[in-house]
Amino acid sequence: MRDFRVVGAVALALLTGCGGGGGGGPVPTPSSAPGGGRADVYFSIVVPAGPPASNGLRRPNYVSSNTQSLSVSVNGGSAQVFGLTPSSNPNCSTSGSATVCSNLHAVAPPGTDTFVFTLYQQATPLPPTPTVLSIASVNNQVVQLGVNNQLGTFTLNPVIGSVAFSITAPGGGFQPGTPSSGNALNFTVKDPSGATIIAPGIYVDSTDTALPIALTSTQSAFTFSVDSGASAATGSLNGPSDTATLGYSGASVASTTTIKAAAGGISATQTIAALTAPIVVNLSSSASGNDYHITTAPPELDFYGTGISGTAALSESGYAGSFTLQSTTCGTWLSFSPTVGQTSTSFTANALAAGTTGTPAICTATFGDTNGQTITVTFTVTTISFGLQ
């Protein structure tokens, strides 16, 4: 499968005399249209048959390989249309891997002129609404009768037809609590014919209005850097030369993140799964070591008598918020500070009453974060003789 690409610069030599032509045959002698005082203008264009050369060089006369015709409008006047295939124009011929169209003839009034070149996917004759692939406006060009006038090299702006991208994430993917930067956003932008756009030029719509690709995220934990610039909540790619990377603050993200790239009504998205680490509880007590026992997995704090207290300290990688004591089954055996419904990162459990051999004081307390995650801790209040450890 051929990898069609667009390089948006083209050397179009506009001439009103001999010499300096785009090649392919003798350059006509300058003349003027009868009664109109218009100069003959000649230019050449090369349409590639496929991707850039294997050596990676991007020659300035590449245009979309799907280009089949071109129009020139001078000073906003009626378009002068040219076929760019050997079958539609005798001035076009195949040369190697390209179609070379030489000495194409247009007319322009002497003076300072503006030329608008528009390249199309369709061959001549053009349909009522042809597909525009690229456009160039060349302003303030001096055209004189009887002298050689050359427009020179200018840049065609590619028209966006579709946008797609992928995200190069860290080796194991984004991890809560672990900031990362420089994660590449890999873009494939195509013109309306399906040819992949590469530099130079800026992205435009079919009217040659700038159409940058806007980058947004649904979560503030992700930011954009364009062309190695400062990180920001949004980004904008003005043309195929621009590059963008994605940064992650390391913060916990409770829901899916959507990264969006949009140019007008054309858009693409990538999603990043929720980034939440499990809640971790650290149980401790200031009592004598003989008066309590801690089990880490699952978390449990056993008190061997009343009047003893312990602490449940909660943490979560990437999470900077507080935790809520959501519920407890401890009744009159234990009290908690803060109490049920209140928030903190550390809760104190006070052993108030011991159970009996028939009714051991075994209960639970459930803590939750603002991301909807919970952890349940078991508590017991007993005596050594009960043997509940």
Long-range contacts of 242-246 (CB under 8 A, 24+ apart): 243/184, 243/185, 244/184, 244/185, 244/187, 244/215, 245/181, 245/182, 245/183, 245/184, 245/185, 246/167, 246/183, 246/184, 246/185, 246/222
- State the pLDDT at residue 149: 65
- State the pLDDT at residue 60: 38
- State the pLDDT at residue 19: 25
- State the pLDDT at residue 389: 44
Average pLDDT along the chain, 389 residues, taken 10 residues at a time: 36 33 31 54 81 40 81 94 94 90 88 93 94 92 77 83 96 93 96 90 94 98 97 97 97 96 97 96 95 96 95 97 97 96 98 84 96 96 61
- State the pLDDT at residue 4: 33
The reply to whether omega before 298 is within 30° of 0 (cis) is: yes
Rounded to 10 degrees, what is the CA torsion of 196, 198, 203, 207? -60
DSSP secondary structure string, 229-281? Answer: ---BS-EEE-STT--EEEEE----B-S-EEEEEEETTEEEEEEE--B-PPPEE
- State the pLDDT at residue 384: 60
- State the pLDDT at residue 117: 93
- State the pLDDT at residue 15: 34
141 in Cβ contact with 115 (< 8 Å): yes
- State the pLDDT at residue 140: 86
- State the pLDDT at residue 360: 82
- State the pLDDT at residue 51: 53
The Cα 107–Cα 35 span in angstroms is 13
The Cβ of residue 286 has, within 10 Å, a number of other Cβ atoms equal to 10
What are the two backbone dihedrals, phi and then psi, of residue 241, each rounded to the nearest 5 degrees?
Answer: -75, -20
In the chain, the domains with their CATH numbers are 5-157 (2.60.40.150), 162-272 (2.60.40.2410), 280-386 (2.60.40.10)
3-state SS class at 282: strand
Of 164, 121, 156, give the one whose Cα is nearest residue 7: 156
